Amino acid sequence: MSVALAREMSLARTEAVTGLLRGTPYGRTIRRVLEGFADIQIADRSLALAAQIFTSVLPVIIAASVISGWDAAENTIRDQFGFDSTALGAGPDTTVADPTVAAFGVVGLFVVLIGGTSFARALGRLYQVVWKVPAIGGRDAWRWLAVLLTVALAAGVVGQTRQLGRIAYVGPPLSLAIELIIWSFVWILVPFVLTKGTLNGRLLWTSGILTAIGLCLVHIAGRVVLPRLAANAREQFGPLGLAFTSISWLFVLSLVIVGAAAVVKAFALDETVVGRFLRGRDDDE
């Protein structure tokens, strides 16, 4: 992968001509970022990924909460998906893990997991386009399931850590630090699994940390604007308005995930010390 990146960087440099974004190495990096967004169709891919999160990750969180009895789904939905599930009209004492839903049992959870891998497959196609890696076949289908469970579990844990924010003084920064650590680990692991270890360590942890920082910043902003948006949407359109608000929120989160991959790829092709660092030692071969 490092050799391939070096060759692609060399080709991009030889094709560069004078211009505002082509006359300097940093200008060409900015140009590669913009071209990367266009090449992967960032808006369309982010919208598709947001829909997959809503229809794949959310049901897994609910199903796991129902079967395990771990009552984390409500906090996770409110924190990660942008609305309070008790606002759907079922009453304040109703939780997502209603015992009547538990009738589907283990078989239902298995079906949810199989269907939920569409989220991981969408991520796999993203990394395939960005990093030019081979597609994952049926023999490696376990990778999709592993990614789905990792993201769902991380979302649940992050939702629960919000309770740390109630601790005076140290609570909010502690909660944010834990969220940053969790998402960094997740978004280092996910591309590693879906690219079959093709990317080197520097690319992985740079991509993971950048994605985690972006998600944390979006969540900080979301705590300010989401309650008001959700309340207005529910008042005007009812539960349907909450669904649209949630999809819009997930679209922003997906923009971070998709955009971080494209940005890291662009900097991996950088001609300066940043690019050489990300490509690793094989850049000189």
Q: What whole-number distance in Å separates Cα of residue 225 and Cα of residue 221?
A: 6
Tokens 């991509």, residue located: 207
Instruction: Supply angle C-alpha 268, 250, 114, rounded to 5.
Output: 90
Which two three-digit tokens encode residue 11?
């080709």
CA-based nearest residue to 189, from 125, 137, 250, 120: 120
Whether the model clears a pTM of 0.85, i.e. scores above it, the answer is: no
CA-based nearest residue to 222, from 88, 81, 84, 86: 81
| Averaged confidence pLDDT in the chain | 79
Average pLDDT over residues 274-285: 69
174-185: pLDDT as tens digits: 888 999 999 999
Question: Which residues, in sequence order, are CB contacts of 226 under 8 Å at separation 6+?
Answer: 82, 83, 245, 249
6-60: pLDDT as tens digits: 556 555 555 544 455 566 777 778 888 888 898 899 999 999 999 998 888 887 7
Would you state the pLDDT for residue 194? Answer: 95
Average pLDDT over residues 226-252: 82
Q: At what angle do helices 73-80 and 142-161 cross, to 10 degrees?
A: 90
Would you state the pLDDT for residue 103? Answer: 46
